[in-house]
C-alpha cells in the first residue's frame, strides 16, 4: 500500500498503538481511540487486508536464543543477480534481514550468530551462494532498535 493512501487519522492512531503493543486488546484500542470495539475490530481487519499490518510477532532477545553476535555484511553482487541474492540469503538461517541498497554494495544483510567462528562460516556461505566478495562490519552494541510507527 503506497504511503498510507486512504487511511485516516484514526487508522494511523490504531497503527501506532499496535506497533507499540501488537497484543493490545480491542477494548484498550477502542478506549485509546474513542471508537467502539466493533469499529476498532473492523478497522484492524481492514488494515490487515490492505497490507498496512503485515503481521504480529514476539520480539525475542537474540542473546536468549544464543545469537549475541551481530554483523552487517555488504554484498557486492553482479547486477544480473539482483533477484537471486535475496533468495539465496533466505536459505541461510543466520541471515536475519536482507536489503537491496544504492551505493557500491548491491545488498546488505544482518547476520546474527553465536560466535566469531560461526560468523566466518556464514560469510563463506554468503560468498559461495552469490559468488562474490563481501565486506563485514561487526556490531559492538545496539543502542536501540526502533519499531516504525506512524506519526499521529
What is the pLDDT averaged over residues 60-85? 94
pLDDT at 3 over 60: no
Whether the model clears a pTM of 0.85, i.e. scores above it, the answer is no
Residue 2: pLDDT band with limits 50, 70, 90? very low
Provide the grid cell at 111. 547476520
**Mean pLDDT estimate for the chain:** 92
Average pLDDT of the residues in 44-60? 93
Amino acid at each position: 500500500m503506497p504511503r498510507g493512501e486512504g487511511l485516516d487519522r484514526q487508522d494511523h492512531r490504531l497503527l501506532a498503538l499496535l506497533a507499540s503493543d501488537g497484543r493490545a486488546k480491542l477494548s484498550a484500542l477502542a478506549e485509546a481511540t474513542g471508537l467502539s470495539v466493533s469499529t476498532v475490530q473492523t478497522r484492524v481487519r481492514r488494515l490487515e487486508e490492505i497490507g498496512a499490518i503485515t503481521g504480529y510477532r514476539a520480539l525475542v532477545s537474540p542473546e536468549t536464543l544464543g545469537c549475541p553476535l551481530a554483523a552487517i555484511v555488504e554484498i557486492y553482487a553482479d547486477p544480473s543477480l539482483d533477484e537471486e541474492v535475496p533468495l539465496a540469503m533466505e536459505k541461510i538461517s543466520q541471515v536475519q534481514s536482507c536489503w537491496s541498497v544504492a551505493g557500491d554494495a548491491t545488498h546488505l544483510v544482518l547476520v546474527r550468530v553465536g560466535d566469531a567462528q560461526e560468523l566466518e562460516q556464514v560469510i563463506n556461505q554468503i560468498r559461495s551462494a552469490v559468488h562474490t566478495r563481501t565486506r563485514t562490519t561487526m556490531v559492538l552494541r545496539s543502542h536501540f532498535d526502533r519499531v516504525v510507527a506512524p506519526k499521529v
